[in-house]
A and B are shown apart, each in its own frame.
Chain A
Amino acid sequence: MKVGIVGVGVTPFRPTTPEFSWKELMYDGAQRAYADAGIDPRTDVGSFITCAEDYYEGFGIFDEFTPDQLGAVLRPMHTVGGDGIQGLANAYMQIQSGLADVVVVESHSKASDILTFEGIVSHGLDPIWNKPLGGHPNYLAGLEMDAFLRGSGNTAKDCAQVASANRRAALLNPSAAYGARVTPEQAAASPALWAPLRSLDASIPADGCVVLVVAGEKAARRMEPTPVWLQGIGWASDSPSPETRDWVSPAYARLAAAMAYRLAKIRSPPTAFDLAEVDDKFSYKELQHLEALGLARKGQAGKMARRGDLDAGGKLPTNVSGGSLGCGDILDASGLHRVAEATLQLRGDAGKNQLDAPKRAIVQSWRGLPAATGAVAVLGVGP
């Protein structure tokens, strides 16, 4: 059975949202998605899913606080301790299993409520082997960037290109929090943080909420004349201990892509897509992920970035939404946001960022430090 995306709700991302609680943010995202899909959550939805982590939310059991603001009281609902695309995978499976026809997937970030973000990330490190080493946990990204650049042949200059391109693209995206006219030279000259990573190589947390309405084929066609189909989905994890991961070509991205390509029957990834939205929580991650997904040959992603292949008019427009570097890091909602952006592109609703009639998109997510988990979704329009 086909599964379609029939409703998209994205709140504008902002560095801080003092007038809204996280609950109100969720309500805002949900009512946008329900209006887009033309549904009443109390009668038209079979199941609700939220993607959240207790420590980001500041609660012992965050699952308690999810139903009311989504219209999910006394309905099937659950939390996924994972990225938004993993939540979408659960929706896909529930629909394929016949357990639900219409599923709502929500994820959000109220990062501005987190007083000790760095401390929480450190708290995700192995308490025996890694956490006692101390230091800002982003040193892991610096180490990985170094290993990736050495192992693949990409350069810090390539990463600066990404840091510049995504922030510039975000200027055209009304949802983005951190759009800026930054040149690659400025990015390359920004303060060094965790060598070789510089401050403009890193995304900055933002607040925001993303809600998608997903439906089985029959329901989708009833709700939307030309739904965007979820043609493939995959997710995977590499080892939780940094010492035993693949640092050059992340296994989570390779394996998730293989799963999604199998479902979507994609044999030649480099030519299969009209646009890509891949994780760029750090600039080098975009290049690393493009190579792991088989969208660029090893060591070539940086060249693609510098040649303009990844720009809006290029061979494989990548992160024309502005990505996490330009829109802000909305934690586990990042993947869901990029699915929303790709859906809007395929529908032709992407506004100033709109590409020329794209037919198929790939979206990839990474959960952020210190995790080695990611997911891939393949979206397309057509019969």
Chain B
Amino acid sequence: MRKVAVVGAGMTLFRRRLQETGKELSFEAARMALDQAKMEIGDVDAVVHGTAPDAFDGVHMKGEYLLDGSGGRRKPYMRVFTGGGTGVFSAIAGYWHVASGLADVALVVNEEKMSSCQPHPQSVFAHIWDPILDRPLRPNLVWIFAMEMNRYMTVHGIPYEDIARVAVKNKRNAVGHPCAQLADANITLEDVMNSELMAWPVRRLDISPPSDGAAAIVLASEDVVRKRRLKDQAAWINGVGWCIDSTMWTDRDLVFPEYVNRAAKMAYKQAKIDRPRKQIDFAEPYDPFDYKELHHLEGLGLADKGTAGLMTREGITERDGDLPVCPSGGLLGVGNPIAATLGIKIGELYWQLTGQAGKRQIPKEIHTGVTQAWGDLMQYGCVVVMGA
């Protein structure tokens, strides 16, 4: 198997409503990633596109629609889709395009334009349920995640403060991120805990709201890295894993994300990691809700079950802590244009590992990072381990 490196990354502003079309957003992100990799679109052998529900943009075969903006015209162009997991999954698909030898350089572009969906993107989520068993209950995402958060808090006896601390940390971490929608240097624990109640126990500041944006990365084989002298700006993909759980979320114990754990084990095996807490220097788990960061840290084997909240309280997951978590600011701080979170997950690992994270740079020496995304009906996990 060939080694594969990220050699460039780019992302647009993340904002509630952007003026640009989805094609334009894709173009901007792709252009930035190519510029950083010192390449032109002609150097790219294949394009992978990631974008979440078609219904956000309101275009059938959305991947086809966005392909010229993403640089896919007259190229092998592949759209992969794993719901919210697409933010990291498309990079995994890009990885196998290069690792298999079919492409030497692959461009991965992720786009999301949620603001086209009126009156609110949440209305798309009315159509993600089993039409017979779930839909008549008229569920929405906030309340099923509230159930999961409640289960997690209740089983482990985790106080709400420990969960709200994640939102404070991430919104503060996002200060200095040039694309951030939700950075707040002065936010306090009280602000989060006193914010409007959405569906108990979830409050408004526990959630990352809808957003528009795009992100892109350039993947290259070892040969390309050597020939183009990109070694100093290359971060290597050492392991990938992905896993889907049953559609029947009502049949699962929501307290532990088994699917994330299995995806992590797959990625760790490939990356030869057997003691993740010791061998991994920082993490970018998926944090659309603050409790999800904790949930996912446990799924990733970076915290024992029920202890991730305590780690947060003790400051271990701060940027200058022993295990920095979401140094980018995460979805809670930078924003959550679903698939475009590629830029704050894979993108952040890339910029951190190559020392290009600027004000967000982790102060300690780092060699290995892990990132993860989560999708579908609380059922999808995908994990990427990267090294300097």
Contact = CB atoms under 8 A, between A and B. Distances in A.
B72 A93 contact: no
Contacts of A237: 64, 67, 72-77
Interface in B74-114: 74-83, 89, 93, 95-97, 99-102
Given A55-B60, A64-B83, A78 B55 contact: no
Give 3 nearest A-B pairs by CB, closest first: A96-B100, A97-B99, A93-B100
B120 interface: no
Contacts, number: 189
A81 interface: yes
Interface of B: 1, 21, 52-55, 58-68, 72-83, 89, 93, 95-97, 99-102, 124-128, 130, 240-248, 258-259, 262-263, 266, 270, 375-377, 379-380
B93 to A, nearest CB: 7
Contacts of A263: 102
Interface in A55-97: 55, 58-61, 63-68, 72-82, 86, 89-90, 92-97
Given A73-B244, A124-B60, A60 B81 contact: no
Contacts of B89: 78
B258 A90 contact: no
Interface residues of A, number: 60
Contacts of A238: 73-74
Residue with the greatest number of chain B CB neighbours at <10 A, chosen from A66, A75, A76: A76
B68 A240 contact: yes
A79 B382 CA distance: 13
A24 interface: no
A249 to B, nearest CB: 13
A121 B80 contact: no
A74 B259 contact: yes
Contact of A60 (B60, B101, B102, B125): B125
Given A61-B83, A76-B244, A80-B80, 18 more contacts: A58-B127, A61-B52, A64-B247, A66-B244, A67-B379, A73-B244, A82-B78, A92-B100, A93-B102, A94-B96, A97-B99, A99-B270, A236-B77, A237-B77, A238-B74, A239-B73, A240-B73, A259-B76
Interface string A126-165: 1110000000000000000000000000000000000000
B122 to A, nearest CB: 11
A217 to B, nearest CB: 14
A123 B377 CA distance: 26
B54 to A, nearest CB: 5
A98 B59 CA distance: 35
Interface in A92-120: 92-99, 120
A235 B77 CA distance: 7
